[in-house]
Chains A and B, each alone.
Chain A
Amino acid sequence: MAAPTVLRRQLFPLARILSGLSHLKPRSLTVCSGHRRCAVSRFPPPLTPSASFHTATPLSSSAITVTEEPDVLFQKVLVLVKSHDRAVLDSYEFFATTAAQELGITVGKVFEPQKDIERVTLLKSVHIFKNHRVQYEMRTHFRCIELSHITGSTAKVYLEYVQRNLPEGVAMEVTKTAMEKVPDHILKPMWEDLPADDKPSQ
């Protein structure tokens, strides 16, 4: 059952983050958080050398709002990260699981789906020599972190933190399974409420 009052932290909205964040196309200016006020002709001030791209933007609308509507409950939040480098995924998994433990989120299971290799066989020479070929391959390694029984606002905060610190060359896909209250009209079977029929119809 959802709690009646929820303290919700209103974070700066990040477009397209919740449904699969991969490399964002550089064409769209609006995606970059904090740069909404900038016109197309003006580019943001130079960032400090060691900063990741979130620290330079002041959160203008970071008000804490208290709403009456119940928070969304997620049974399972699946975070799948993909990369070409397994070592990067190892360190990112350590970072994400530690962050979840610090925030008090229950980490379900952390597993590694099998890597996917895409191979291409091409002719080695520009002209003839059909018997001599060259093979290239692209390996994609995966890592899946499953968080269970998490509220909507916690999920938002955690995902934003974890996504702002995504290393370069790493893509993330988030799948959320929400829980909803069973509608009242199907709680009880219909035949219990009907008046008892004396004779069955023939």
Chain B
Amino acid sequence: MAASLSSAGTVRVLLSDFQSTLARSSLLCSSSGSRGLHVTAACCKNRAARTRVGKGEKPLTYEQAFHPHHIGHCKGWLSQHTSNLKGEEGAAERTMEDVFIRKFMFGTFHGSLANEIVLKRRGNMLIVCALMIQKMSPLKFYFLIGYTETLLSHFYKCPVKLEVQTLQDKAVYKYI
């Protein structure tokens, strides 16, 4: 049914963005025989933190498989601090620190990160939780962990703790 199709299409698009769908729905609601030409603005789908669908060969972790609007429902927070709460300050500084720490970790443990890094701030302390792949020998891992902890605590003048768990391979949730 043309009517049900148009309503399903409108609902699906409204869920993801704020766009006006009048042109599209008017096209679909017109009589089933005729087809008109319509020109609308480009249907800008959201692209943030979403992997484009492939042929079934792309492996995705649980973190990558769910989109940002699932945060709070089936996803947790990657960076936990209080500055985004109502009446709290320091959001920009914490975000800058987070970005730097993620880049630093990505570079130090090059190729051995299995998943995104989780940052937790408890009081004065910064806890960096990371999942690693067993690419290097444990001795090298321990050295890099100590090196990261020392450097970051000197940079940010606060105790920095690294909590590392290692896996054989990346944990794949699904293939896209």
Contact = CB atoms under 8 A, between A and B. Distances in A.
Given A23-B121, A43-B159, A171 B88 contact: yes
B157 A134 contact: no
Interface residues of B, number: 41
A25 B90 contact: yes
B28 to A, nearest CB: 19
Contacts of B153: 43
B161 A134 contact: no
Interface stretch (B29-37, B51-59, B79-87): B79-87
A168 B86 contact: no
B122 A52 contact: yes
Interface string A94-121: 0000000000000000000000101001
B124 interface: yes
B130 interface: no
B82 A26 contact: no
Contacts of A135: 18
A26 B157 contact: yes
B72 interface: yes
A8 to B, nearest CB: 25
Interface string B36-63: 0000011010100000000000000000
A170 interface: yes
A40 B122 CA distance: 20
Interface stretch (A67-75, A81-89, A187-195): A81-89
Interface residues of A, number: 43
B9 to A, nearest CB: 16
Q: Which 6 A-B pairs have the closest CB atoms?
A: A26-B158, A169-B80, A168-B120, A23-B82, A171-B82, A140-B86
Interface of A: 22-29, 31-32, 40, 43-44, 46-47, 49, 52-53, 82-85, 116, 118, 121, 124-125, 129, 131-135, 138-140, 164, 166-171
Given A22-B85, A132-B19, A168-B120, 16 more contacts: A23-B81, A29-B157, A29-B158, A31-B124, A52-B122, A53-B122, A53-B124, A53-B125, A83-B85, A124-B44, A131-B19, A131-B20, A132-B17, A133-B18, A135-B18, A164-B123
